Amino acid sequence: MADRLLYVAVVLSVVGLLSLVFVSNFLDVPYSRVGDVDSSYIERSVHLRGSVDSVHAFKGGSLLITLVEDDSSVDVYVPYSVAVGLNSTALEGSSMDVVGLVQLYEGKIEVAVEKAEDLVVE
């Protein structure tokens, strides 16, 4: 009887975990205002919209974009794997929709984009 109960528990656990993995692919990160992003957001994913104030291109091809909304700003780090398809000089002044992970880099809050589809220039 105990073996059968253990088997059922393991099967239900595996089915539950697989369901969570499947469903997580369809969940959207809720929208946050740029001014709301602070240290309480570290290691959380955020969805931001704003205007590109400035773009700094690093030698390796990655970008650091300053995104502004109203009177607030946040830096958005775009690794080379995502930045490779972007024209950094054409970004300034454009609107951008970003999904990324909030991190602390050298004492400053920044949002790191992980996938190309998480950055949309409008």
pLDDT in tens, 45-100: 999 999 999 999 999 999 999 999 999 999 999 999 999 988 877 888 899 999 99
Write out the H or E segment, with its range, that includes residue 49. strand 45-57
Overall average pLDDT of the 90-117 stretch: 93
Query: 23 in a domain, yes or no?
Result: no
Query: 17 in a domain, yes or no?
Result: no
Q: Is 51 left (phi over 0), alpha (psi -120 to 50) or beta?
A: beta
Backbone angles phi, psi at 15, to 5 degrees: -60, -40
Domain count, the chain: 1
Query: 25 in a domain, yes or no?
Result: no
Instruction: Look up the domain containing 104 and give its range.
Output: 34-121
- Percentage of the chain exceeding pLDDT 70: 91
Query: 52 in a domain, yes or no?
Result: yes
Do 94 and 106 form a contact (C-beta atoms < 8 A)? no
Res 14 pLDDT > 90? no
Please report the pLDDT score of residue 43 as a whole number.
94
pLDDT band at residue 24 using 50, 70 and 90 as cut-offs: low
Q: What is the CATH number of the domain that holds 88?
A: 2.40.50.140
Q: Is 89 left (phi over 0), alpha (psi -120 to 50) or beta?
A: alpha
Please report the pLDDT score of residue 3 as a whole number.
80
